[in-house]
């Protein structure tokens, strides 16, 4: 018996594999449902490793080498798209392509503008996904203002115009990015994708950049949506966190607008955004700010579509947008500005909503976090980076004090004189070391041969009185700075607050809040009431048409485009539908047309085709499928009376017939029970009816007193 193939051994992971996150999903529910072979199955021989043949059910869904390969590849691909493509990190707020762009700009930074095409080329040595994605990411970051300063045509976030080609535009780091994002001494590097270069794992960012920029991304099994926030408000919130005070932050969008946050909870939930619409003279409105996600082009197209559907009373649109949004709307005659604004919010993207769900990478794991959690993590990182910078500076000052003190003793105590009579280099070095022995109490650590090498390279002019005095002043400055650094390390929280407040003072004029917070939740616009009379349904009796686009005809009623109407024909057919533009119903074929109300009661009298008997029924239409044709009476019947509600009486005049003693009769419809629309009516009479009405007619003979009609 041939044995089933053994499970291929997994290759040992290298250091390069260690930085990839195949174990990314250890604490996630995302892949828990993925079927895998159990250890028990392998041990008892029921899986791949046993001699027993696999069960038939395993042929398609059980364990096997191909399944293991697919599972492993899927996990690696999912890990790659999450960590290397789509999801930003909390630590520096960037996706990999953005981080590589910023690192490339820092490497090439000399304070002057650089061609974007050059930056793209430089970034490609770190980013393996082509130039188009890099150029798009540069334009996107530049339009967000904080990190990259652009020169040239970067498109227009208001109109949606695209940026010029990368060879025509230039960019450079902003002062904010240059000062707050980079520190090679605090940065860990890994080999780039081809091993030729080193790229940062994360940038040592001291800003809450993830919440400043916002982010959207879709990966395997995950998606993220993080709204941008106001830079200054985030810094103020970080001050509150350090001081252990309450805080609250809300999104802020570059396009401005008005925002309702009643359904928004600390980064999760939904916000509603409205365009800013201002009143102008001569019955005009002007849109001066857009909801996020809209451009003037998309908004105008949406308004034009609503105009065609007669939902908004606008007759002309003029777009004057340049650096600021300005869309002028000329209203129809007789329409109030307030009603037009309500219609714009109700039927166009002048009001829209955005949903937020922050899924991020934090400490190499995908997590769903709230805005407060992200801000606390950024504040902890800020404190850690400030402490590490202070400690680095303390060590630098200590080394600087040592070298300056060595120079001072070497020159002022004339130790250099000892080397004049020495005949070998080793003797020179030893003479210098011996010369420092009486002054070791002025030093913080021992003198090394490297120190001696540094002293022997001092230029002869440094021996002058001028240089001696300057060296003393430098030592005094080092000591003062060391005291200041020590105080800052001891009072780190106060130092961090001062750092944040200095940023607020410097950048507050540049980054004001652009999106206004609504004082109260947006009022629900009663759309049906707003459009109750927007359409006029007419009947063209000459040609037998009904509709809203009929110019000449009798007006039946006013209605809304949101309404549904019911049409009943004389033969008992009925159909529920939206108000039609133009519908053929025949000149005499339709007996009833009105706004549909499923609970409204009707009274119907009809004659059936087989014996010519007349029946009466009371009913309500109830539910109906739109544009589907139904029958409320048996096919071949003819409706001779159809009215809303329950009339007090039905007056009937019969056709003359031989030996007929009853010529007229009155019936009481309220005696008929209310039934469904498809129920059969109650027999009213077997005689042929000449006339029928619900109001006492002129042809009614009061002197003729027939028996009252019975409806049972």
Q: Rounded CA gap, 599 and 674, in Å?
A: 11
Name the token pair of 100: 């590589």
The gap from C-alpha 30 to its chain's centroid, in whole angstroms, comes to 22
Q: 468: closest CA among 508, 410, 523, 429?
A: 410
Please count the other Cβ atoms lying within 10 Å of the Cβ belonging to residue 51.
9
Tokens of 384: 């850690």
Query: How would you class 274 by CB atoms within 10 Å of its CB: exposed for 0-12, middle for 13-18, buried for 19 or more?
Result: buried
Are 255 and 292 in contact, with CB atoms under 8 Å apart?
A: yes
CA–CA distance from 305 to each of 298, 330, 529, 534 (Å)?
11, 16, 21, 16
Question: Coil, strand or helix: which one is 172?
Answer: strand
Length of the chain as a residue count:
712
Among 80, 126, 168, 499, the one annotated catalytic: 168
* 536, two tokens: 């006029």
Q: Where are the alpha helices (DSSP H) in 517-603?
A: 527-530
Q: Where would I find the beta strands (DSSP E) of 598-647?
A: 601-607, 614-620, 629-631, 638-644
Tell me if residue 168 is catalytic: yes
Pairwise CA distance, residues 362 & 369, whole Å: 9
Q: Which of 517, 670, 665, 689 is nearest to 606 (CA)?
A: 689
Pairing of the two strands 516-517 and 258-260: parallel
Please answer whether residues 176 and 502 qualify as being in contact, where contact means their C-beta atoms are separated by less than 8 angstroms. no
- Judged by phi (left if over 0) then psi (alpha if -120 to 50, else beta), residue 576 lies in beta
Q: How far apart are CA 411 and CA 417, in angstroms?
A: 9
Are 81 and 213 within 8 A, CB to CB? no
Largest CA distance in the chain: 162
Three-class SS state of 218: strand
Residues 6 or more apart whose CB falls under 8 angstroms from that of 573 comprise: 629, 630, 631, 632
| Alpha carbon 258 to its chain's center | 16
Q: What positions carry a catalytic annotation?
A: 168
């Amino acid at each position: 018996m041939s044995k089933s193939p053994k499970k291929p051994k997994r290759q040992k992971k290298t250091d390069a594999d260690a930085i990839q996150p195949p174990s990314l999903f250890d604490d996630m529910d995302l892949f828990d449902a993925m079927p895998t072979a159990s250890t028990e199955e392998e041990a008892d021989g029921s899986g791949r490793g046993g001699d027993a043949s696999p069960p038939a059910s395993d042929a398609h869904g059980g364990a096997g080498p191909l399944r293991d390969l697919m599972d492993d590849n899927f996990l690696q691909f999912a890990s790659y798209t999450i960590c290397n493509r789509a999801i930003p990190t909390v630590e520096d707020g960037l996706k990999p392509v953005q981080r590589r762009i910023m690192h490339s700009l820092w490497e090439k930074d000399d304070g002057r503008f650089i061609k974007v095409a050059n930056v793209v080329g430089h970034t490609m040595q770190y980013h393996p996904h082509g130039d188009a994605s890099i150029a798009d990411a540069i334009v996107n970051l530049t339009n967000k203002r904080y990190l990259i300063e652009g020169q040239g045509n970067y498109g227009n976030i208001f109109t949606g115009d695209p940026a010029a080609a990368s060879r025509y535009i230039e960019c450079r780091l902003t002062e904010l990015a240059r000062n707050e994002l980079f520190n090679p001494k605090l940065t860990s590097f890994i080999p780039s994708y081809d091993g030729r270069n080193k790229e940062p794992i994360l940038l040592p960012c001291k800003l809450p950049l993830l919440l400043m920029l916002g982010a959207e991304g879709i990966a395997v099994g995950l998606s993220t949506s993080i709204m941008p926030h106001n830079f200054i408000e985030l810094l103020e919130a970080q001050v509150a966190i350090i001081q252990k005070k309450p805080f609250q932050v809300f999104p802020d969008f570059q396009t401005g607008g008005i925002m309702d946050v009643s359904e928004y909870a600390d980064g999760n939930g939904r916000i509603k955004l409205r365009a800013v619409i201002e009143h102008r003279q001569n019955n005009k409105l002007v849109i001066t700010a857009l909801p996020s996600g809209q451009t003037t082009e998309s908004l105008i197209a949406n308004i034009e579509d609503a105009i065609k559907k007669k939902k908004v009373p606008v007759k002309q649109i003029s777009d004057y947008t340049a650096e600021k949004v300005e869309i002028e709307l000329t209203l129809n005659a007789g329409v109030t500005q307030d009603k037009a604004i309500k219609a714009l919010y109700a039927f166009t993207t002048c009001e829209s909503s955005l949903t937020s769900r922050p899924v991020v990478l934090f400490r190499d794991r995908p997590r769903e976090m709230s805005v407060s959690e992200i801000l606390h993590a950024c504040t902890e990182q800020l404190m850690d980076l400030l402490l590490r910078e202070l400690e680095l500076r303390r060590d630098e000052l200590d080394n600087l004090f040592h070298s300056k003190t060595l120079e001072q003793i070497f020159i002022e105590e004339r130790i250099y004189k000892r080397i004049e009579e020495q005949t070998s280099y080793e003797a020179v070095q030893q003479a210098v070391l011996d010369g420092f022995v009486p002054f070791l109490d002025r030093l913080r650590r021992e003198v090394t041969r490297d120190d001696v090498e540094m002293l022997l390279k001092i230029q002869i002019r440094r021996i002058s009185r001028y240089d001696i005095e300057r060296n003393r002043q430098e030592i005094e400055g080092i000591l003062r700075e060391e005291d200041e650094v020590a105080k800052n390390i001891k009072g780190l929280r106060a130092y961090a607050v001062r750092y944040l407040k200095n940023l607020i003072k410097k950048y507050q004029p540049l980054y004001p809040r652009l999106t206004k917070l609504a004082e109260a939740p947006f009022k629900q616009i009663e759309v049906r009431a707003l459009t109750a009379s927007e359409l006029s349904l007419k009947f063209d009796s000459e040609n037998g048409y009904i509709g809203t686009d009929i110019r000449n005809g009798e007006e039946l009623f006013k209605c809304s485009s949101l309404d549904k109407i019911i049409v009943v024909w004389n033969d008992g057919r009925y159909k529920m539908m939206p108000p039609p533009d133009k519908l053929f119903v025949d000149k005499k074929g339709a007996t009833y047309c009105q706004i549909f109300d499923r609970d409204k009661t009707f009274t119907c009298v009809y004659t059936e085709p087989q014996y010519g008997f007349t029946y009466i029924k009371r009913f309500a239409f109830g539910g109906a499928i739109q544009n589907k044709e139904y029958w409320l009476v048996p096919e071949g019947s003819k409706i001779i009376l159809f009215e809303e509600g329950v009339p007090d009486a039905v007056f009937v005049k019969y056709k003359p017939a031989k030996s007929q003693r009853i010529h007229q009769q009155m019936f009481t419809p309220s005696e008929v029970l209310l039934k469904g629309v498809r129920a059969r009516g109650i027999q009213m009479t077997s005689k042929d009816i000449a006339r029928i009405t619900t109001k006492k007619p002129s042809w009614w003979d009061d002197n003729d007193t027939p028996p009252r009609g019975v409806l049972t």
